[in-house]
């Protein structure tokens, strides 16, 4: 497994954990105004992660793969929306995880040959 594949797989794991944390926050907190939009974005994140997992399973998860870059770009955008919708609920540790996911993806994009 190449370094970029390993990094992308770790970013996927962190994104999954972030989605799980947010879902836990939603279950424990009072309803929020944008809950429907938030659940839509969480569903999009889960679908994107499932598609990326399928790509990983066939050993094509690489930053050089255009579809992987597109899926990750969409995933980062959806996660940013999730953070926006949970701005009153999300803790610093979860937000820092989101920043790390975005920074890791940007690092991989900048390091492409």
Instruction: Find where tokens 């094509």 sit.
Output: 60
Report pLDDT for 26. Answer: 85
Q: What is this structure's pTM?
A: 0.92
Both tokens of residue 99? 């920043």
- What is the chain's Cα-based Rg? 14
> What interhelical angle do 92-110 and 66-85 show, nearest 10?
160
Residues with pLDDT less than 70, the chain: 1, 113
The residue count for the chain: 113
Q: Domains for the chain: give ranges and CATH numbers.
A: 3-110 (1.20.120)
Closest CA to 89 of 46, 39, 27, 12: 27
pLDDT score for 113: 63
Q: Report residue 79 CA to chain centroid gap.
A: 5
């Amino acid at each position: 497994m190449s370094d970029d594949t390993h990094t992308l797989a770790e970013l996927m794991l962190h994104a999954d954990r972030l989605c799980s944390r947010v879902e836990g926050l939603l279950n424990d907190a009072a309803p929020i105004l944008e809950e429907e939009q938030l659940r839509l974005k969480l569903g999009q994140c889960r679908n994107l992660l499932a598609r990326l997992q399928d790509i990983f399973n066939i050993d094509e998860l690489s930053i050089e793969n255009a579809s992987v870059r597109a899926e990750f770009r969409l995933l980062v955008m959806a996660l940013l929306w999730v953070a926006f919708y949970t701005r009153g609920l999300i803790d610093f540790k979860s937000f820092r995880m989101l920043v790390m996911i975005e920074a890791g993806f940007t690092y991989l994009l900048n390091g492409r040959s």
